[in-house]
Amino acid sequence: MKLRSRHLLALEGMSKDEITLILDTAETLKEILARPIRIVPTLRGVGVVNLFYEASTRTRISFELAEKRLSAEVVNFSASTSSVKKGETLKDTVRNIEAMKIDMVVVRHQASGVPYFLTQCMKASIINAGDGAHEHPTQGLLDVFTVREKYKRIKGLKVVIVGDIKHSRVARSDIWGFTALGADVSVCGPTTMLPLEIEKMGVKAYSDLDQALEGADVVNVLRIQLERQRGSLLPSLREYSNKFGITRDRLNRLNQNFTIMHPGPINRGVEITPEVADGPHSVILDQVTNGVAVRMAVLYLLSGGEGKVE
Amino acid sequence: MPKKQKIVLVMDAKAVERALIRVAHEMVEKNKGAENLAVIGIKTRGAYLAERIAKLIEQIEKVKIPVGLMDITLYRDDIQTKLEQPVVQKTEVLFDVVDKVIVLVDDVLFTGRTIRAALDQIIDFGRPKNIQLAVLVDRGHRELPIRADYVGKNIPTAKDDRVNVKITEVDKEDSVSIIKQ
């Protein structure tokens, strides 16, 4: 069993077996994080660039730790402190980076499709760390991993994703990931934030939160991305939190053993109240811990050479 | 056209059992008891052999010794040359290796590269008092300066022969055979 592509651009189109391979590998690698020396020599001599054109705390640190714990050689790039400021194009930037002998590129960019573009202009393996409103595949994988770790299955669980579905790459990766493994996925948000024909992705769409939460096992609360709002999709944040904010009172409709997730960063009091975010059903910090293991698995599985098998 | 293969049985179930009993006795003799002893088996088959040896030592010395299981995939030296990444299995060393006498257990000793990887991995868990090596079969052709302290059977082979170890827990029987190319 191996991954079909040497890049990780999206969860769309990935088979159940491929996703399961990544999750199983992550489960094994998670044990390393509990060792006295949390580092293995697997990717010694492999050069990885973290190419971040957008701000990030979790994803960037998580990737960097995953790379370092596999002994890769890590270089960090952020657009704000580079020659991008002097007008260098993306293509020139990556071709120069590649000229310095790089094997893998982890890229985050505000434009959808940039990771694919990089596969066309460089030889390195490309890992998408979030591109525009397209996908954030490692976040999708760590969300599925966290839920699978808790329930020991994905099939048949009812997963509700709440928030700005239209602008959310996390929502898209989660939808592909959870549906590939057989979960029953719904999305919920103001109609201005639900893409047209979202049902074609195999999900149910609601604009009434209480209706969406009926019988749910997992609620993934998305951040309201103030930086991506163009025009007026929302009358006010206060109205949003009244209608779509996750509060303790709303959670009575869920199954007993429900789970609250959030990809971070949290706008406390807007999409989720602090008592829910920090409450006993929240796995928000487990998601962060698991992120490192999942990214280690992706780096490991994509780093194979071209030599013979056994 | 594939060449004709010749399969020679070199150890049957009885022979494997006797070899393991002798190896267990040798371990206890060399270390003057089993007080500070622990075994770590290398996956897949070495792990089962380690469990059996621990049981034998328990019968001989009446002490229970810790057993660890180790997958060395992440420490291989050829990981970036392979087309397909090997499946990583769980490593479970749930005891403190510091100041213990660790006996590594594997089924076949060949190039020594697996043992090199296992040594590096153990040392990342802590600093044992010393590390010893027990193998069911030593088939020669070392590529590294590594030797075994306890050997079930030395089997002379040609470099391209295959040594096939079967262990009841995985293969429904205990046996060692050589497949000559």
Q: Report chain A's C-alpha Rg in angstroms.
A: 19
Residues of chain B contacting A43 with CB distance shorter than 8 Å: 80
Contact A159, A184 (CB under 8 A): yes
Q: Could you tell me the sign of the dihedral formed by the alpha carbons of A249, A254, A256, A261, in that order?
A: negative
Q: C-alpha angle with apex B117: B111 to B118, nearest 5 degrees?
A: 105
Q: What is the pLDDT of residues B38-97, one digit of tens each?
A: 999 998 899 999 999 999 999 999 999 999 999 999 998 887 776 678 888 888 888 999
* Statement: residue B1 has pLDDT above 60: no
Q: What's the N-to-C CA distance of chain B in angstroms? A: 12
* A95 lies in the same domain as A158: no
Domain presence at residue A217: yes
**Interface membership of B80 toward A (CB under 8 Å):** yes
Sequence length of chain B is 181
Domain presence at residue A2: no
pLDDT bracket for residue A225 (50, 70, 90):
confident
* A148 lies in the same domain as A121: no
B85, B90, B97: which to substitute to probe chain A, counting the most A Cβ within 10 Å? Answer: B85
**CATH code matching the domain that covers B33-78+86-173, chosen among 3.40.50.2020, 3.30.300.30, 3.40.50.300, 3.40.50.150:** 3.40.50.2020
| Nearest beta carbon to residue B125 from set A28, A35, A46 | A35
Range of the domain at A199: 137-284
How many angstroms separate the CA of residue A101 from the nearest CA in chain B? Answer: 15
- The pTM (predicted TM-score) of the whole model is 0.89
Domain definitions of chain B by residue range: 33-78+86-173
Domain presence at residue A95: yes
Mean pLDDT of chain B: 92
Residue range B134-159: average pLDDT? Answer: 95
Residue A51's identity, in one-letter code, is: L
* Statement: residue A309 has pLDDT above 80: no
Side-chain half-sphere exposure of B135, counting CA atoms within 13 A: 22
| Preceding omega of B44 cis (within 30 degrees of 0) | yes
* A70 lies in the same domain as A144: no
Residues of chain A contacting B126 with CB distance shorter than 8 Å: 36
Q: What is the pLDDT of residues A64-90, one digit of tens each?
A: 999 999 999 999 988 877 777 788 899
Concerning whether A86 is annotated as a catalytic residue, the answer is yes
B10 class by beta-carbon count within 10 Å (0-12 exposed, 13-18 middle, 19+ buried): middle
| Nearest beta carbon to residue A309 from set B82, B91, B121 | B82
Report the CATH number that the domain containing residue A68 is assigned in CATH: 3.40.50.1370
**How far is it, in rounded angstroms, from Cα A117 to Cα A51?**
14
* Statement: residue B120 has pLDDT above 90: yes
* A144 lies in the same domain as A279: yes
* A107 lies in the same domain as A158: no
Domain presence at residue A259: yes
Concerning whether A108 is annotated as a catalytic residue, the answer is yes
ipTM: 0.79
Structure tokens at A97: 């980076």
* A177 lies in the same domain as A115: no
Domain presence at residue A310: no
Catalytic residue among A58, A150, A204, A253: A58
Looking at the structure of chain A, the number of domains it has is: 2
Domain presence at residue A8: no
